[in-house]
Chain A
Amino acid sequence: MLAFERVSKVFEKPQRIKALEDVSLTLRRGITIGLVGESGCGKSTLARIGVGLLTPSSGRVLLEGRDIQKMQPRERFLFHRRVQIVFQNPLRALNPLLPIRESLLEGVRLHRLLDDKGEKRWIRELLEWTELDPEILPRFPHELSGGQIQRVVIARVLSLQPDFLIADEPTSALDPSLQSSILRLLENWQKKRGMGLLLITHDFAVVRAMAQEVAVMEKGRIVEYGPTEKIFAEPEHPYTEKLLRDSLLPFGLMVK
């Protein structure tokens, strides 16, 4: 279990901003939680805190009950393997000077998970899983399309076989057809490995298709939380209603 326990975050520079206030959320393996909210509501800050890139001003992040701030370096290093993140923007998501092969293997090498033969095998498997052509391996990021880069980024992260993945708007910058293939990728991987997924998005359709539970965030606070179908059928908080309306989706009309 990866838990956010009453996490708050206040930024001092350049101005005093209360990004998160008293957020509690528990991510369990095998489950997808959708986190929805408008831009700037603090979702990305929460994501970064979840993987240890930022420290909360108050509150804790717990992995299997252990506070990550209090972990010893070794334990903390392992934490970084078990909890991973995918960011939104495919630009500069990869080191422009490294060929794709190197970027893909970075995590594996950092944690010394495989030997040379293992690496070769793993790369092949990874490429198959993410539907990437092996011919991109010697290429550089600037030669790839946005969709390919995002796939590489995901492959890179998944190569650590994390137990929990926080995906921060992984497909917002992509076209609909690409979006579906990447989301399916995440979903399949989750089913295969029993990964817990925190899917941060502003697209309700995505949430409905992928998440079992939904958390609605407004200005740094979680205003509603519950099973997906309930949230769609009987939203309680007015902000949730507003978001549902704004989504322009025809509800009750899931054409299969």
Chain B
Amino acid sequence: MSLLTVDALSVSFRMPSGTVKAVREVSFAVGENEVVGILGESGCGKSVLLTALVRLLPSNALVSGKVFLRGEELLTLSERKMERLRGKKVGFVPQNPGTSLNPLLRIGSQITEAISTSLRRSHKRAQAMVSLQQFGFGEPWVIFRAYPHMLSGGMQQRVLVVAGIINQPRLVMVDEPTKGLDPSLRARVVEVFQEVARLPNTALLCVSHDYLVLQRLAHRVMVMYAGELVEIGSTKEVFHTPLHPYTVSLLWALPERGMRPIPGTSPSLSNLPSGCSFHPRCFQARSSCSVDHPSLQRISPGRWVRCPYARF
């Protein structure tokens, strides 16, 4: 049995401007020790997906589908039981450090607060210091006593990561861990997550727009566009032989692979294109693409594409 199974999860928001379909029938599984990456850009719904899994969505969210954590259905769990899971069995490292840290509390107490075991305060402090050091803070005692506003955005992000994994949960969900970090810090963060992934019985679900991070960390990668998964495969398969035109275009856009911009812009989630969501920007779109909405097709075990004309 997989650690996490997501079955046809959909999340929409009812807004005055219309219904925003952030996540559309997403299904996937994460194994016990696996690292799964979700590659996607801003506006594709990846953050909403993660937030839905830990049930921290705002009240105007409409959720359907099922989520199983080791057989236990999460979406229908009582809030109290969910609270016990969060931070302990399921760790979550959110994206916006500015709004996720309490500006009135020192960093140290926010981290030790996240520690769930009943240890003595001095032990918790020690644990926090060790983690801080692991994540690149050269003088953890300074950080420990500091307030969030004294830290740069990158440092705040790293603090969030520390708080999210300090209990060594079974499943760690990470949202853009390297956003805004320069390469050196990014390399550090990747190293630490690699260590986290090596821990026994720890699975990682990592969302990022940075393929370099996922390439180093993930066993499997799922590409997300306009609320849907458009390609799934092993990391090697997806990055070396991408099949879906979006994945192909995304890789071509990288400076190290030609820096070819993708025409057009990401679609608005409240006003999705007809048929295939990517067709207005697709280099191999045909007339049927604007009419038929393709489903995920299995090419080979573990390899899926949402495009009938994907080259293979």
Contacts and interface: CB of A to CB of B under 8 A. Distances in A.
A243 B256 CA distance: 16
A172 B256 CA distance: 16
Contacts of A146: 42
Given A176-B253, A256-B258, A246 B42 contact: no
Given A175-B209, A176-B250, A206 B255 contact: yes
A254 B256 contact: yes
Interface in B212-231: 212-213, 215-216
Closest 4 pairs between A and B when the two form their complex, measured CB to CB: A181-B261, A209-B255, A205-B256, A175-B41
A177 B253 contact: yes
Interface stretch (B83-91, B112-120, B182-190, B297-305): B182-190
B222 to A, nearest CB: 17
B41 A176 contact: yes
Contacts of A206: 255
Interface string A161-193: 000000000001101111111011000000000
Contacts of B254: 176, 180, 205
B182 A38 contact: yes
Interface of B: 41-42, 152, 154, 180-187, 190, 209-213, 215-216, 249-250, 253-262, 265
Nearest to B190: A248
A245 B187 contact: yes
A158 to B, nearest CB: 17
B152 A39 contact: yes
Chain B CB count within 10 A is highest, among A177, A210, A242, for: A177
A210 to B, nearest CB: 7
Chain A CB count within 10 A is highest, among B42, B255, B259, for: B255
Interface residues of A, number: 36
Contacts of A175: 41-42, 209
Given A175-B41, A202-B183, A183 B255 contact: yes
B183 A247 contact: yes
A145 B250 CA distance: 19
13 contacts: A38-B184, A39-B181, A176-B209, A176-B210, A177-B249, A177-B262, A179-B253, A180-B259, A180-B260, A247-B187, A248-B186, A255-B258, A256-B257
Contact of A254 (B212, B216, B257): B257
Contacts of A208: 255-256
Contacts of B212: 248-249
Contacts of A202: 182-183
Nearest to A148: B265
A221 B216 CA distance: 31
A244 B69 CA distance: 40
A209 B253 CA distance: 11
B182 A180 contact: no
B31 to A, nearest CB: 25
Contacts of A204: 183
A213 interface: no
Nearest to A176: B253
Nearest to B181: A39
B260 A246 contact: no
Interface in A199-236: 202-206, 208-210
